[in-house]
Amino acid sequence: MRIAIVSETYPPEVNGVALTVAGLVRGLIAAGHTVQVVRPRQAESADDSDDADTVLMRGMPLPFYPGLRLGLPGARRLRALWKSVRPDAIYVATEGPLGLSALRAARALGIPAGSGFHTRFDDFARHYGLGLIAPAVFGYLRRFHRRARTTLVPTPALRESLEQAGFGNVQLLRRAVDPALFNPARRDLALRARWGLAESQLAVLHVGRIAPEKNLALAVRAFRALAELRPNARFIWIGDGPARATLQAQNPDFIFAGMQHGEDLARHYASGDLFLFPSLTETFGNVTLEALASGVPTVAFDYGAAHEHLCDECGRRVPPGDDDAFVIAARDLARSISNGMRRAAREAVAMLNPQTVASSLAALLAQLIESSPSVPGVAVASHRSSS
């Protein structure tokens, strides 16, 4: 198939959506599909070595989220592009102006299009003091996704929630993790030594955007509680964001490793012993899979990736919003981490093969094609373009 994927975020940007989309692109290409990636031009050059046909569109900085771009409207250009090189199906991964333009162009040309529900922007609005507009944001998301033939989500619970909210045809597309990249074998004693830790001491990790919506105060509280039991423990923060400076000033004993990518990120994961993930605003939480694949026992709230894959043998799931239970679970796990738990963490996600997920996306798009009326198009050679 010839598949167009539209996303307003893509590596080298580091976030769950960008990495998920890039993984789908690699998997589809490996399976023999022709893939076109439509995305905003980024301030930092992207690595386009995945052999995708890349179309760069105009963009602007995303408010409240430095380092990311928002794609500007481009329906006219997309209609011209897809008239010339007609994709068999389109997958729209983000709900910004570029994503909306892609759905409009797809409808005008009669090309079947699916969308992905990756981010709860209504929750983001609440955490940035814009709670009054959160219902309007959710209403926009519903209207956006109803323009697609289907909306793809990573968990059965989210599928049920969106169906009840009137999103229409919602289908399951599970997430994956690269077990070759995120692997306990990447544990690095020299890195731990730079953190000031011997092998027997506890390295507690938080990986992700350091921002208000991530419930960071609870991570700090849980660490302080477990440090009463393990006084030599260190808290390592991997990532960056608008709350970093304040958090760092308030907690000078914490280690801030900054943004990490690829093998460096995997090495940081594998060198940790316990992952604390207190966020309540995730649609899924890819970092949970990455920690488990790296053999790192995890404490998280019981939804998204944690609900699907975090087991009692490899971590603790606690009721969403129960902060006291989260702290108790962190203290309990700090006392009981073992090699058996590390192995169980790895085994919990061993079957989440990225190639299988890409094949599932291809199959879902093929279903859309089969159920769509045939519209003649012009097929020409793939090309790279920019504006």
pLDDT at 224 over 60: yes
Confidence label for 151 from pLDDT (cuts 50, 70 and 90): very high
Q: What is the pLDDT of residue 343?
A: 96
CATH class of 184-348: alpha beta
pLDDT at 121 over 80: no
Yes or no: is domain 2-176+353-386 CATH 3.40.50.2000?
yes
Confidence label for 380 from pLDDT (cuts 50, 70 and 90): very low
Q: What is the mean pLDDT of residues 130-149?
A: 84
Report the C-alpha gap between 68 and 241 in whole angstroms.
Answer: 11
pLDDT at 305 over 70: yes
Q: What is the pLDDT of residue 19?
A: 87
Global pTM value: 0.83
pLDDT at 172 over 60: yes
Q: What is the pLDDT of residue 76?
A: 95
Per-residue pLDDT tens for 197-206? Answer: 999 999 999 9
Q: What is the pLDDT of residue 132?
A: 67
Q: What is the pLDDT of residue 168?
A: 84
Q: Decide which of 123 and 144 is more confident.
A: 144
Q: What is the mean pLDDT of residues 277-297?
A: 94
3-state secondary structure the chain: CEEEEECCCCCCCCCHHHHHHHHHHHHHHHCCCEEEEEEECCCCCCCCCCCCEEEEECEEECCCCCCCEEECCCHHHHHHHHHHCCCCEEEECCCCHHHHHHHHHHHHHCCCEEEECCECHHHHHHHCCCHHHHHHHHHHHHHHHHCCCEEEECCHHHHHHHHHCCCCCEEECCCCCCCCCCCHHHCCHHHHHHCCCCCCCCEEEEECCCCHHHCHHHHHHHHHHHHCCCCCCEEEEECCCCCHHHHHHHCCCCEEEECCCHHHHHHHHHCCCEEEECCCCECCCHHHHHHHHCCCCEEEECCHHHHHHCCCCCEEEECCCCHHHHHHHHHHHHHHCCHHHHHHHHHHCCCCCHHHHHHHHHHHHHHHHHCCCCCCCCCCCCCCEEC
Per-residue pLDDT tens for 29-52? Answer: 999 999 999 999 876 655 555 678
pLDDT at 193 over 90: yes
Q: What is the mean pLDDT of residues 247-270?
A: 96
- Mean of the per-residue pLDDT values for the chain? 89
pLDDT at 67 over 80: no
Q: What is the pLDDT of residue 335?
A: 93
Q: In whole angstroms, how far apart are CA 352 and each of 30, 177, 179? A: 17, 6, 8
Q: What is the mean pLDDT of residues 20-35?
A: 94
Q: What is the mean pLDDT of residues 292-316?
A: 96
Delimiting residues of CATH 3.40.50.2000 domain(s) in the chain: 2-176+353-386, 184-348
Q: What is the pLDDT of residue 381?
A: 35
Per-residue pLDDT tens for 206-223? Answer: 999 898 889 999 999 999
Q: What is the pLDDT of residue 30?
A: 93
Q: What is the mean pLDDT of residues 46-71?
A: 74
pLDDT at 387 over 70: no
3-state secondary structure 158-172: HHHHHHHCCCCCEEE
Per-residue pLDDT tens for 325-348? Answer: 999 999 999 999 999 999 999 999
Question: What whole-number percentage of the chain has pLDDT above 70?
Answer: 89
Q: What is the mean pLDDT of residues 217-235?
A: 97
Q: What is the pLDDT of residue 12?
A: 85
Q: What is the pLDDT of residue 350?
A: 87
